[in-house]
Structure 1
């Protein structure tokens, strides 16, 4: 057993270090183990890859990605920002507040952390820079707020976890509401403390007087006018999530509704996209969706090999030999996932490690919905931590600074999110309260 584990993960790590795409590395390491062991026919690869794609819930992923791309290009993100701006006014660190709240709402539309940073950050990071905010802080707060994408429903990561674990995706969406709010509140507190210390107000710094005056004029736009402009954008998460929670549509059907809704609003009401834009938007969504689904196919075969070789059971027996205390085991899993998130893309980590870790926590009596939230929150922290830190890379590129310069401000933000992680881990009622309440 130990030899198989070393062989499987040794080949995988070697291929990743050689910069082989992770999906190919997963499939190749699995195939090599199957060839060496000789206990499984190679036709299993084709069968497993095909059956993993033949999943109704997975259809939601390309549709939610397409809806997010349409809404981002079609003006919804911009109008959300202007609406929140009309409410925040001149509060300390108001641009940071706008970034966090707008990211929270947009995450409830797109379901993607990277898409949230790219959309909201592209609008607000330049404003923060011109208003005297440190570039490192502007990049860090936008990247961290984008981390709400995997937590706030409808999260693409939740869909994948639900498929891999057999857990209700609707219940996972409901469970993500309270943790998402808790993360957003923690970011707001950190934003206030840092902006108070650094002296960041709105945009009244003299060195940017001309830009500040322009932005302040925009802030004077009445709340009601901004609400009228943003009403269609604000209705999107209500329509999507309300349909799911009300039992009107499944998560997959809700994704299709999101696409149709976004096309109608952005084409006929906001009029910011037209037929010329459609091809580019569809191609971008297809590239993103295709890469994710190739991951799913390869990871399903990898998981099948793990199951056949009884590696999850071996790992569970090994850990239980160290300790049977669920609190300590959850601590070890948290540490492990935090390290994984630093080096591996979120979707790949879910697909690889959920089949390994889920049997361990189920044996301890831990609710799979609660565990799903632990996994997603852990891996969302990886979006802002080096060396991978994809959200931080996006934010840094928008702010036109090096990745390293943003790290100074990431430390207090990461600390606050770490506190939230341990609260979610050891107080499961925060996650399970709404699913139990709505589910009766």
Structure 2
């Protein structure tokens, strides 16, 4: 029966059926042919959704959309451009910097690519940057978002295993910052080599002005992060604080958010949340079937039979996740594989929080690798250029991602040092 499950799953995946329905339909076919009651479907879907911390997801999505509608994206870009525009390739550097700041608001890579890319890709093309390079910078730097808190994949990972959301958030900070700096180095070196333009240095007064305009966005991230770390509120409460904060800033500080626009923003946020929750529900059903078929134990035993060496095992897991991430949506892969692989990693002495960062980091790399690199598709549609050209231009950034992944994998302190400072 397990063969039937995966045969249907792979067929639907090849046909391009959305991953949520691929999981649901393959699970439905399995249940029909295994004589299980159909009541199992809503029961297991509801069990996957009946987790308190998942309530934070619609809150963070709504907060990000409210901040977007408030003109926060433009202010972040202006600040980064004021700070870095005078350097060779400054607009590309500002692109990466804006993604680092915006990632601390949205927590998702796709929102980053769409919001930052819609402004930066046309601007970079106008300034004389190669289109493929402009799209590659945007798509690659957007993967910083799910690593730097607040991160929706980190929330999902914590939900699945009972890990502390706060610890996972903090554990992703240093890797996310190093990843962003690595992208900046690549952007600068390529810009120098290709003689991309630079702007004149802005006066300090203008830089300070742009900083104060972006100040409220930066403060939002700090309020969320240190509120959770300090135990002032839970992640779910933090998401509500973020919504109130975003609404207050948009209405009374920036004055660009209109009350009549709020219902539409809430509707769009509800649609995004609903799509995500359907995915979570179907993935939980799929994962339950895998457990019934004892596939997690089989995967764990197979990996441990190959080797019990921690370093080799982690390498094998990384290769598996990089492959899966190239074909499957990040959250779906997390829901199905994280509990299984976490058990294997813990058996060979890997810290669960460290492995959570490793898992998320692996899968977000897949957002910029064909054939299912969602961020590549978004950047491609904005830049009006083929997916293949963006993927090729993104190879230097992919190399940086892999180097940082190795650091996270093999140097525990790289992800555990900051959580140790705040929680031990």
Identify which of 391, 400, 406 aligns with 2:375: 391
- Equivalent residues in 2 for 1:186-335, closer than 5 Å: 186-203=182-199, 222-335=206-319
Q: Which runs of 5+ in 2 are unaligned?
A: none
Structure 2 residue 136 is matched with structure 1 residue 152: no
Distance 2:19 2:84 in 1: 43
Q: CA deviation at 1:292?
A: 0.6
Partner of 1:285, secondary structure, is: helix
Partner of 1:133, secondary structure, is: coil
Would you say the 8 A contact 1:100–1:142 is kept in 2?
yes
Would you say the 8 A contact 1:341–1:379 is kept in 2?
yes
Which residue of structure 2 aligns with residue 208 of structure 1?
Answer: none
Would you say the 8 A contact 1:90–1:201 is kept in 2?
no
Which residue of structure 1 aligns with residue 329 of structure 2?
Answer: 345
Distance 2:357 2:346 in 1: 14
Partner of 2:144, secondary structure, is: coil
Structure 2 residue 23 is matched with structure 1 residue 45: no
| Structure 1 residues 187-224: Cα deviation after superposition (integer angstroms, max 9, x where no partner) | 01111111111111325xxxxxxxxxxxx698886122
Structure 2 residue 2 is matched with structure 1 residue 8: no
Would you say the 8 A contact 1:131–1:202 is kept in 2?
no
Which residue of structure 2 aligns with residue 142 of structure 1?
Answer: 138
With over 3 angstroms needed to count, the CA separation of the structure-2 counterparts of 1:433 and 1:395, relative to structure 1, is: same
Q: Which runs of 5+ in 1 are unaligned?
A: 204-215
Would you say the 8 A contact 1:374–1:424 is kept in 2?
yes
Distance 2:395 2:201 in 1: 34
Partner of 1:170, secondary structure, is: helix
Distance 2:5 2:13 in 1: 13
TM-score (norm 2): 0.95
Which residue of structure 2 aligns with residue 365 of structure 1?
Answer: 349
TM-score (norm 1): 0.92
Partner of 2:420, secondary structure, is: helix
Identify which of 75, 81, 84 aligns with 1:79: 75
Distance 2:210 2:32 in 1: 62
Distance 2:386 2:293 in 1: 44
Which residue of structure 1 aligns with residue 414 of structure 2?
Answer: 430
Deviates most, 317-326 or 295-304: 317-326
Would you say the 8 A contact 2:86–2:202 is kept in 1?
no
Would you say the 8 A contact 1:313–1:359 is kept in 2?
no
Q: Kindly tell me the number of residue pairs found equivalent between the two proteins.
A: 424
Q: CA deviation at 1:145?
A: 0.8
Structure 2 residue 381 is matched with structure 1 residue 402: no
Which residue of structure 2 aligns with residue 30 of structure 1?
Answer: 27
